Copies of this chain bind each other. A is one copy, B any other.
Amino acid sequence: MSVPRAEPERPDLTPTGRVILGMLAAGIGTGYDIKQIVDRSTRHFWAASYGQIYPELKRLESAGLVVSRSEPTGGRARQVYGLTPAGRDALEDWLETGDEPLYELRDEGMLKLFFSDFTSPEQRIANLRAMHERAQRKLAALRELDGKGDSGGPGLTLQLGIAITRCYAEWCAEAERRLTDGEDE
């Protein structure tokens, strides 16, 4: 007779837990470093703040997915974390699930554009120009980042980020041109 299979006990990762496990797998061991690296890499599609990172590291530790050891730098306290086998499993499980991945965008520039019928044509164009400038600044910041030649995960997401930001910027520029020319036809 078939024994009811014990559930593999997949401890569902919180959103911030996901990025933390990944960073630990990459050898980024402290809360501080995770924050630095996130800000220099995943930030444009996945942010994290200290207020989430430190408590989440502790939760992950009490869940047995990570372990920490104290490695002070001189008199400066420092906790270095690493994945346990269970933690690595959880990371791989997450990377392999086909579950509908989370996708959320909140773009106030677009919202203003959406409601721009309630302002003047000039205001709409100004809005578009602001969106364009922002996109260009973001594009410059992304190009500044390392990993151009990187053919691994980080390089791929950087390339995708650059591609969509360029597309966004170009669309804004063109819409701006169209509206400026045909001002009131």
Contacts and interface: CB of A to CB of B under 8 A. Distances in A.
Interface of A: 15, 18-19, 22, 25-26, 41-42, 44-47, 91-92, 94-96, 98, 101-119, 123-124, 127, 130-131, 134, 152-154, 156-157, 159-161, 163-164, 167-168, 171-172, 175
Contacts of A91: 115, 118
B98 A109 contact: no
A154 B124 CA distance: 12
A152 B116 CA distance: 8
Contacts of A26: 115, 117-118
Contacts of A106: 15, 45-47, 102-105
Contacts of A46: 105-108, 110-111, 114
Nearest to A123: B96
Main SS of the interface on chain A?
helix
Contacts of A44: 105
| Copy total for this chain | 2
A91 B130 CA distance: 18
A114 B41 contact: yes
Contacts of A164: 164, 167-168, 171
A42 B119 CA distance: 18
Given A123-B96, A164-B171, A25 B115 contact: yes
Contacts of A154: 114, 117
Given A41-B114, A92-B119, A113-B157, 6 more contacts: A19-B111, A22-B115, A46-B106, A95-B116, A117-B152, A164-B168
6 contacts: A18-B108, A26-B115, A42-B114, A46-B108, A96-B123, A160-B172
Contacts of A114: 22, 41-42, 46, 153-154, 156-157
